[in-house]
Amino acid sequence: MRFSTIRTGFVATAAAVALAACGGHGLVPSQSAATGDTQSDFDRAPDTAVTCSTVPNAWEFHGACTADKLTSKGVTFALAAYKDIVFKTVFGKSKVKRSVPFLVGDAIGNGDITGKVGGKSFPLYEGKNCLTQTGKPAECPGKAFLYVEAVNLGKAEVVLADSPSITVVDKKGFPGTHTCAPAFLAPKTTKSPQGWQPELDIGRKPGKTTLDIPSVPVPGGFTLPPGAVYLAMFCQ
């Protein structure tokens, strides 16, 4: 299992994208978000509240969106149904000293991810938008049915003991009969272009309407740095 790939994917993506947004409703903390060592913006009235669709310099996800704070005990993000798809992820125990604000949003990639980051539109999981283990462009395996962003609105990285668990319920069923898994969006570097990194090693065979990907231990911890990480849920 490529634990290092998963962890590196999160760190690298956040380094390229400082903030991200989702197009749901409700308020999230101001951009002066808290770190793991200071008081959370969720624990005091923010100076300037922003909605999920108004965080600047980010792709806008116009599906479901939810915001909450991560504590040392963990947190569950359960999104409302969007296009008959329900996404839930659980962040487990961490070593944060105080709460850290997060938001999680989704979209299906059918015109519901807008805006530009670095002058570019959101790269869909398709064609040769994936990367091999050596960072070379490659055909993306399977077909994506959901895109998700998780945004650490704090200023410090958060390290979880295990990878987050994922549960997806799709009333229409999944676009494949073998394996469904997440792919993480890695940014452009001097050695490789921006692209998706499929994580088939942690994939699972879906049920008729439910996909469960359990959390797994990650040597050294699972890092969620400040900013956004993006994943595509795909099946083949």
Whole-angstrom distance, CA of residue 209 vs CA of residue 218: 28
* pLDDT tens-digit series, residues 151-187: 888 889 999 999 999 999 999 999 977 899 999 999 8
Q: Is the pLDDT of residue 214 over 90?
A: yes
Residue type present at position 138: A
Spatial neighbors of 91 by CB under 8 A, at least 6 apart, are: 70, 74, 75, 76, 77, 102, 160, 164, 224
pLDDT at residue 89, rounded to an integer: 97
> Above pLDDT 90, what percent of the chain?
60
More confident residue, 225 or 70: 70
Structure tokens of 70?
């991560």
Residue type, 177: T
What pairing do the DSSP bridges indicate for beta strands 60-61 and 21-22?
Answer: parallel
Q: Does the structure show a pLDDT above 80 at 32?
A: no
Check residues 219 and 36 and name the one with the higher pLDDT.
219
pLDDT of residue 45: 30
pLDDT for the residue numbered 54: 58
Phi, psi of 59 (to 5 degrees): -70, 140
Q: pLDDT band for position 226 (50/70/90)?
A: confident
196 close to 185: Cβ distance less than 8 angstroms:
yes
Place of tokens 């002066």: 32
Q: Over 90: is that where the pLDDT of 188 sits?
A: no
Q: Which two tokens stand for residue 179?
A: 């394996």
Residue 31 has pLDDT above 60, yes or no: no
On the question of pLDDT at 120 being above 50, the answer is: yes
**216 confidence band (pLDDT: 50, 70, 90):** very high
Task: Report the pLDDT value the prediction gives residue 167, as an integer from 0 to 100.
Answer: 98
Instruction: Give yes or no for residue 90 having a pLDDT over 50.
Output: yes
Mean confidence (pLDDT) of the chain: 80
Pairing of strands 113-114, 60-61: antiparallel
Instruction: List the one residue out of 57, 68, 69 whose CA is nearest residue 20.
Output: 57
Please report the pLDDT score of residue 207 as a whole number: 94
Which pLDDT score, from 0 to 100, does residue 59 have?
Answer: 87
pLDDT band at residue 57 using 50, 70 and 90 as cut-offs: low
